[in-house]
């Protein structure tokens, strides 16, 4: 990253339980605050390209890396790092601690893929601190969503799923397809004390990940991020940890939508997203009177057209917040 292309501010926030969460700021210091929530579980901010989805002249953009990810410590790629306090309630508390730390009264929330689940969980817990929501590649991490992405999609990719399930069956942990959840089998493998077992499971998980996003991505492509062993181990470990517990969302997101009735939202989803079918975004929209659903007919779990809609949704929401702020009477 060039010296002229660095965040305006960044740091590590001590959020307790021995965890420090990395955060960074881009854009206008006096702009409308907005928080970006990355995907995964186990993703990271990467080269911070997310900032390009905002008008930086009008927005104070904050990004952070979730517990166990990226520059946050301890890192879940280290088998010795405990996941005992790595769950959705703790991540929501981390987000709120970051808001307080940065002196932000309320902010726009953006969430991508798994990040949309976490964004929804935060908004449901802290609705008074949310100016609006933009979700991209919408998920709620319900049991049915997890079972579809790890089991049901075997009907679409039978050869790849046979390899995926077969690895767990041959691993000697007693898993048999049709008798137990495959995601739980992989969660066990990724907690194995044997580093070779963990490594092999992470590679199979990465292969399945690339497979199930391939339809909307123009075909199968091996993502270069998997070359980073530390990243791959953390991603697979955290994803299976969260998915085997239905996202640690209790009650499920869709059963708590009454908390968001007054919050405006835009949901951007690809029609060709086979791993996260549009039915989830549709159900969320139907239960959220203040939401708008934009279904992109050409994209899958992301894409150029969807990204343009994402930027436009943020620009419209920030403009709306600024208009409301100008129309409010001054505080006494």
Q: Are the CB atoms for 32 and 318 separated by under 8 Å?
A: yes
- The span from the CA of 30 to the CA of 318, in Å, is 12
DSSP 103: T
Q: Are the CB atoms for 296 and 325 separated by under 8 Å?
A: no
Catalytic residues: 113, 273, 301
- The span from the CA of 30 to the CA of 127, in Å, is 22
Q: Which long-range contacts (CB under 8 A, 24 or more apart) does 206-210 make?
A: 206/232, 206/235, 206/236, 207/160, 207/163, 207/164, 208/150, 208/160, 208/161, 208/164
Distances (CA, A) of 67 to 16, 73, 125, 192, 212: 11, 7, 19, 21, 25
DSSP 119: H
Q: In what order do the strands lie in the sheet with 9-16?
A: 9-16, 19-27, 59-64, 32-37, 107-112, 130-136, 265-270, 291-296
- What secondary structure does DSSP assign to 154-213, as a single string? GGTSHHHHHHHHHHHHTTTS---BTTB-HHHHHHHHTT-S-HHHHHHHHHHHHHHHHHHT
């Amino acid at each position: 990253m060039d010296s002229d292309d660095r965040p305006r501010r960044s740091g590590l926030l001590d959020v307790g339980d021995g965890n420090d969460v990395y955060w960074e700021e881009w854009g206008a210091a006096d702009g409308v605050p907005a928080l970006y929530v990355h995907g995964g579980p186990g993703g990271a901010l990467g080269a911070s390209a997310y900032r390009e989805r905002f008008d930086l002249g009008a927005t104070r953009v904050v990004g952070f890396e979730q517990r166990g990810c990226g520059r946050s410590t301890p890192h879940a790629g280290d088998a010795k790092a405990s996941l005992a306090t790595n769950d959705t309630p703790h991540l929501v508390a981390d987000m709120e601690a970051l808001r307080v730390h940065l002196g932000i009264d309320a902010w726009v929330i953006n969430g991508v893929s798994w990040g949309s689940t976490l964004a929804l969980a935060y908004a449901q817990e802290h609705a008074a601190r949310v100016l609006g929501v933009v979700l991209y590649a919408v998920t709620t991490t319900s049991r049915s969503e997890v079972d579809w992405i790890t089991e049901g999609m075997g009907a679409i990719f039978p050869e790849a799923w046979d390899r995926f399930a077969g690895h767990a069956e041959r691993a000697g942990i007693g898993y048999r397809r049709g008798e137990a959840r495959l995601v739980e089998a992989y969660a066990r493998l990724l907690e194995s004390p044997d580093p070779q077992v963990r490594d092999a499971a992470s590679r199979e998980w990465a292969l399945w990940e690339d497979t199930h996003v391939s339809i909307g991505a123009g075909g199968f492509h091996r993502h270069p991020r998997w070359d980073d062993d530390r990243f791959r181990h953390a991603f697979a470990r955290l994803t299976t940890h969260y998915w085997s517990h239905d996202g640690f969302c209790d009650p499920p997101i869709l059963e708590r939508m009454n908390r968001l009735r007054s919050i405006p939202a835009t949901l951007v989803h690809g029609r060709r997203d086979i791993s996260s079918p549009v039915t989830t975004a549709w159900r969320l929209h139907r239960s959220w009177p203040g939401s708008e659903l934009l279904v992109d007919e050409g994209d899958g779990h992301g894409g150029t057209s969807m990204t343009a809609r994402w930027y436009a949704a943020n620009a419209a929401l920030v403009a709306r917040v600024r208009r409301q702020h100008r129309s409010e009477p001054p505080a006494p």
